[in-house]
A and B are shown apart, each in its own frame.
Chain A
Amino acid sequence: MEPAISLTRLRKTFGTTVAVEAMDLVVPRGALYGVIGPNGAGKTTCIRMIMSILFQDSGDLSILGHRSALEAKDRIGYLPEERGVYRKMKVGAFLIYMARLKGVAAADAEARVPKMLEEIGLPGVADKRCEDLSKGMLQRVQFVGAIIHQPDLLILDEPFSGQDPVSVRMLRDRILQEHRRGATVLLSTHVMANAEEMCQHVVMIHQGRKVLDEPMAGLRRQFDPRTIHFEPLDAAADCSPLRTIPGVEAVEGVDGTYRITLRPGTDPSAIMGRFAAAVPPARIELARMRLEDVFIRMVAGGDQGDRALRASLQAQGEGALA
């Protein structure tokens, strides 16, 4: 089956600014992809080109098998980063209007609206004017607007921005529900923890270029945990024996906590027992891989970037590092 989204060498400039450069991306049907990157990285420009709201200077794209999203608009749900509503319109009328623009029959749209509002934690707001809702509530209304026509492809630009933790959870569950229904989901976020929790696959964009395109599982494997946080039981204990244990590359101590880096290929589970035997620990734990760290390492630039990841990217021919 054709991928849901396929971008080939996409490029977009605004005047002299290059917003997106040499962007290749394939999102298979039914996948849940996260696009991450700092503000201004080119995520929104990329998504707008996918949506045919902006048009690329060069390169090709295919959306749900069409040359343009315009030909498949009714099958795509889109929550833009800059989202608005008609302030004077009632919530129910607004959602029905959006559904009908997406080709849903009037009767179906009217039936779906109250049900979906209830699912998202907004029962009974259908008769309220949009201007009477809080910003967070409106964002959930807009999310309903993006999924009301049960799209095959759901594109969400920063869906969690401005939401309280309870709403974030509610939205995340609803997105996963759409994914289980069979929708392909592409979401962008600059809060990497969100992507880390939900996505099967992450794409990192930095300064308009893709710097990472990996399944989460593979990423976890590649960034094999080689850092161990160690805190001795007795703060005054001598921790120099840790350096002598085979497999240890470096030990750095800051404020009574030690950060131990292992040599590549060392088995962390075996070595942790030997640390405990050498110095009695108050806490000993494997540092969890965080996308943020990966990202910072990727974009720190030059030789400080992770060599293993670099090699892996080059081998796959996925793109060059800036």
Chain B
Amino acid sequence: MISPNRVGLIAAREFQAAVMNKGFVIGLLIMPLMVGIIAVVFPRVMSNRAQGVRGEVAIVDPTGQVSAALHDALSPEAIKRRRVESATRALENVPAPVRDAATSNAAMERAIGVPPELTILDRPAGTDVQREKSWLTSVPAAGSLNHLALIVVQPDAVVPAAGTTVYGGYELYVPQNLDDRIEGELYDAIRDSLVSARIRAHNLDRSQVEAVMRVRRPTSVTVTAGTERRTNVAFNRALPWVFAGLLVFGVMIGGQTLLTQTVEEKSNRVVEVLLSAVSPMELMAGKILGQMGVSMLVLGLYIAMGLFMLVSFAMFGLLDPLLLVYLILFFLISYLLFAAIFAAIGAAVNEMREAQSLMTPVMLALMAPWLFASVIGREPNSTFSIAMSFIPPVNTFAMMIRLATNTPPPTWQVLLTLVVGIAAAWVATWFAAKVFKVGLLMHGKAPDFGTLVRWARQA
């Protein structure tokens, strides 16, 4: 009864109409563009923030042993050195090509930014702290430096009080709205100065103490049957998100277009002309397949882009190719399920505005995977995760996230998810076909879900 030829013609037209327009090309570029903006523009904007801060820092040091070291520790050179150290430490777990790119001179310069120029003002030991606090809030004379901080070192900060082993610390007073990066610099510098002073008080050599303290943390190696590879924490953590995202995104692209095009066909009355040539089932099948082509094209492009990046960063070995096979399988199932619902809604309503209320629960179901992606990603074999893997329409998303984690689920669960998914897609298509048949020629009052169920019973 269904002619593959006619379904093919409809699918081809749908695909062409969706792909051959400016909106599609713009939509296709938006995601990579946003990633690009976040990766390139954001860091520049961020690092420029701390540029060119100048000001005065007052210190009250009753021990007389901290202030000198603080002068050194807050010099621009010392601040720069500390920033380089912390950036290098942060990049330890990043793959070599990324690290090389990030630690190049230019990139480092950008990451470090311009260190602040701080002038240290030594206050005598007995200074009234309250008066110094009001110095902090007073407005400096025109042309003079801003007052950035007041440091009050406690008397027992370098040598503990008699009879105890506990060291004292220091107080830090700052005005409102101090740049948090400056505050961070102050903490680091004071800590460094205090530690130096304490070590000196014990007549020890600081470089020896540091050497004793240092234990290099290795990158763990993931061992699977037959292969060994460097564990990449960031990659492993991101993978479930990436796959869940691809799945949701793929379904959304085709599903949304399917909905809008069906509503348009119905509202501009082209549908009755079509129904004189094809059956409702052929029309629906053609439309769903055509938009599936659109989704697969977009998914294919993104996957290709992702693989290209993995290859160029020499991380290709980190990805299990079987995951891509699962992605395609789960995409097909979830797409069919959601597309059928989108088609039914499109056929039922008179205009897009009416579709909104019917769409809300569907969009919630599509967004649900985002809500629990982290929960499932962290504990892929918890009861919650397992239950989610068998409840349509979220089961495919849940299973995709589990498969992408370090502890993949047992095979029987994967198969069960597939079976449940296929059954759900079949039921949705059956329901949609009935609603589609009745709804296409119905004009009038906006339908609710009850109306759709009644139509499905009627047809």
A interface residues with partner B (beta carbon < 8 Å): 48, 51, 53-54, 70, 73, 76, 78, 80, 82-89, 97-98, 100-102, 142, 145-146
Contact = CB atoms under 8 A, between A and B. Distances in A.
B268 interface: yes
Nearest to B279: A70
Given A54-B441, A84-B268, A142 B273 contact: yes
Nearest first, the 7 closest Cβ-Cβ pairs linking A and B are A84-B269, A78-B276, A84-B270, A101-B277, A80-B272, A84-B268, A82-B269
Interface string B249-286: 00000000000000001001111111111110000000
A213 to B, nearest CB: 25
Nearest to B21: A88
A87 B269 CA distance: 11
Given A53-B441, A89-B17, A97-B9, A83 B273 contact: yes
Given A53-B441, A97-B13, A102 B277 contact: yes
Contact of B272 (A76, A82, A86, A100): A82
Interface residues of B, number: 21
Contacts of B271: 84
Interface of B: 1, 6, 9-10, 13, 17, 21, 265, 268-279, 441
B269 A83 contact: yes
A146 B10 CA distance: 18
B268 A76 contact: no
A194 to B, nearest CB: 21
A266 B341 CA distance: 70
B268 A87 contact: yes
Best-surrounded residue of B270, B274, B279 (most CB of chain A within 10 A) = B270
A96 to B, nearest CB: 10
Given A97-B13, A100-B9, A84 B278 contact: no
Contacts of A70: 1, 279
Contact of A101 (B1, B269, B278, B441): B278
Contacts of B13: 97
Nearest to B440: A53
Contacts of B275: 51, 53
B17 A53 contact: no
A87 B273 CA distance: 14
Nearest to A157: B272
Given A54-B441, A97-B13, A101-B6, A83 B279 contact: no
Given A73-B278, A101-B6, A83 B17 contact: no
A53 B437 CA distance: 9
Given A80-B276, A101-B277, A86 B17 contact: yes
A49 to B, nearest CB: 12
A48 B270 CA distance: 15
A187 B329 CA distance: 50
Given A53-B272, A83-B269, 9 more contacts: A53-B441, A78-B276, A84-B268, A85-B270, A86-B265, A98-B273, A101-B277, A101-B278, A146-B276
A87 B277 CA distance: 19
A315 B274 CA distance: 42
B17 A51 contact: no
5 contacts: A53-B276, A70-B1, A83-B270, A83-B273, A84-B265
Contact of A51 (B9, B268, B276): B276
Best-surrounded residue of A100, A101, A102 (most CB of chain B within 10 A) = A101
Contact of B273 (A54, A84, A88, A100): A84
Nearest to A71: B1
Best-surrounded residue of A73, A76, A102, A145 (most CB of chain B within 10 A) = A73
A137 to B, nearest CB: 16
Contacts of B6: 101
Given A84-B269, A84-B271, A73 B276 contact: yes
B277 A98 contact: yes
A101 B9 contact: yes
A48 B275 CA distance: 10
Nearest to A131: B268
Contacts of B10: 101
A257 B17 CA distance: 64
Best-surrounded residue of B268, B275, B277, B279 (most CB of chain A within 10 A) = B277
Contacts of B272: 53, 80, 82-84
Nearest to B261: A86
Contacts of B9: 97, 100-101
A88 B17 contact: yes
B21 to A, nearest CB: 8
A87 B270 CA distance: 9
Nearest to A86: B270
A80 B273 contact: yes
A104 to B, nearest CB: 11
A19 B9 CA distance: 35
B413 to A, nearest CB: 43
A85 B276 contact: no
Contacts of B277: 73, 98, 101-102
A4 to B, nearest CB: 16
Contacts of A82: 269, 272
A92 to B, nearest CB: 14
A54 B277 CA distance: 14
A151 to B, nearest CB: 10
A145 B270 CA distance: 12
Contacts of A48: 441
A184 to B, nearest CB: 16
A192 B424 CA distance: 53
B278 A85 contact: no
B347 to A, nearest CB: 13
Nearest to A155: B276
Nearest to A78: B276
A85 B17 contact: no
B441 to A, nearest CB: 7
A41 to B, nearest CB: 18
A76 B279 contact: no
A65 B384 CA distance: 60
Contacts of A146: 276
A86 B287 CA distance: 14
Best-surrounded residue of B17, B276, B279 (most CB of chain A within 10 A) = B276
A83 B270 CA distance: 6
B279 to A, nearest CB: 6
A123 to B, nearest CB: 23
Best-surrounded residue of B10, B17, B268 (most CB of chain A within 10 A) = B268
Contacts of B1: 70
Contacts of A98: 273, 277
A172 B13 CA distance: 32
Contacts of A80: 269, 272-273, 276
Best-surrounded residue of A82, A85, A145 (most CB of chain B within 10 A) = A82
